[in-house]
Amino acid sequence: MANVLVFTETNDGKVKPVTLEILGKLAGNTADVAVIGDLAADQVQVLAQYGAANVHKLKGAGLEKYSPEGYSNALSNFIKSKSYDYVFAGATSTGKDLIPRLAAVFGAGCASDCTNFIFEGGAFAGTRPLFAGKCLAKVELTGPKPHFVTVRPNALGMPASPTAGAGAAADVAADAGQIRAAIKEIIKAASTKVDLTEANIIVSGGRAMKNAENFKILNDLADVIGATVGASRAAVDSGFAPHAMQVGQTGKTVSPSLYIACGISGAIQHLAGMRTSKVIVAINTDPDAPIFTKADYGIVGDLFTVVPVMTEEFKKLLGK
């Protein structure tokens, strides 16, 4: 049985779902949670339901906004005061920035962007995609503890029946230390939709969208089925969509339950960002488009005809 700390990020006071995925998978081990920032009143209870033994709320000057140095100083001091075997976090933008930095502070091993893991006799064994997802590596961590692990959001899935933990919560005075590179302002994206990396359903458009205005048909479909809209790099480079929407090797890595690729050829760099999606649907006029070799369902057709029909059919099906 391992002694684990899970660092959670929050969104409007709510813990990010990847934290609950990790906690669910950690069942049978002792799992504490550390959070920096505001936590909504009901969230300790939620964390307890998914197995958190203790919830440590780190608070202190300089921690109001994320900064790599401030968060890593605060967390490393906290971790040094405990005896954790492993520290987990989501492989989000923040997790990818923070956790390797923490691992360097401790001179410890770090397994990043894992899509699965188990504990064998208390030792971590993880799976992580390599070479743009072309192969999967089994990773183990050796050397001084704690070891550090980041987990790709949506990869593990929510536990069917999580084991409840004690959920004892306490504030911890934390020191951000010296912050040499301070973030002055964070400008939130205008969209109110779930971030691509956490979305359960994604509808993405490629070069075939032709312009930014045509993304409306994808937004209409997304509104009906509760999806977030993404884009290929060709669509982003052509100015049809902002870079925040790009899926792929130089964009975001996503693992939704359903990925609908509209007018996307399926280049290796795009597949790198979405090939771990549970179900892939491709709509393309070219029956030989490479995306069809990865798709679970393929529709050979013009997306400007197919997508509006899908939207209407989903409306009927879902009573919207």
Ligand X SMILES: Cc1cc2nc3c(=O)[nH]c(=O)nc-3n(C[C@H](O)[C@H](O)[C@H](O)COP(=O)(O)OP(=O)(O)OC[C@H]3O[C@@H](n4cnc5c(N)ncnc54)[C@H](O)[C@@H]3O)c2cc1C
Site for ligand X, rule CB under 6 A = 206-208, 232-235, 246-251, 263-265, 267, 269-270, 273, 283-286, 289, 302-304
The whole-angstrom separation of Cα 158 and Cα 169 is 23
The C-alpha atoms of residue 154 and residue 71 are separated, in whole angstroms, by 24
User: Minimal distance in Å, beta carbon 206 to ligand X?
Assistant: 2
Q: Could you tell me the smallest distance in angstroms from the CB atom of residue 298 to ligand X? A: 11
Residue 172: CB atoms within 10 Å: 16
How many CB atoms sit inside 10 A of residue 93's CB?
13
Beta carbon nearer to ligand X, 286 or 313: 286
Cβ neighbours for 62, distance < 8 A, ≥ 6 positions apart: 70, 176, 177, 179
User: CB of residue 293 vs ligand X: minimum separation in angstroms?
Assistant: 12
- Cβ at position 225, least distance to ligand X in Å: 19
Task: Tell me whether residue 26 or residue 199 sits nearer to ligand X (CB atom).
Answer: 199
Chain-centre distance for alpha carbon 186: 19
Nearer to ligand X, 96 or 145 (CB): 96
d(CA 50, CA 26): 9
Closest separation between CB of residue 259 and ligand X, Å? 12
Tell me the closest approach of the beta carbon of residue 94 to ligand X, in angstroms: 20
- Of 258 and 283, which CB lies nearer to ligand X in the complex structure? 283
203 contacts 260 by C-beta, under 8 angstroms = yes
The nearer residue to ligand X, 73 or 232, going by C-beta atoms, is 232
User: Quick one: 179 or 267, whose CB is closer to ligand X?
Assistant: 267
Distance CA 157, CA 76 (A): 29
Position of minimal CB gap to ligand X: 248
Q: Comparing C-alpha atoms, which of 306, 207, 196, 304 is closest to residue 265? A: 207
Closest C-alpha among 93, 86, 8 to residue 47: 8
Minimum Å distance from CB 199 to ligand X?
A: 16
Plot region of 305 (φ>0 → left; ψ -120 to 50 → alpha; else → beta) = alpha
Closer residue to ligand X in complex, CB, 8/284: 284
- Residue carrying the six token digits 């070799």: 293
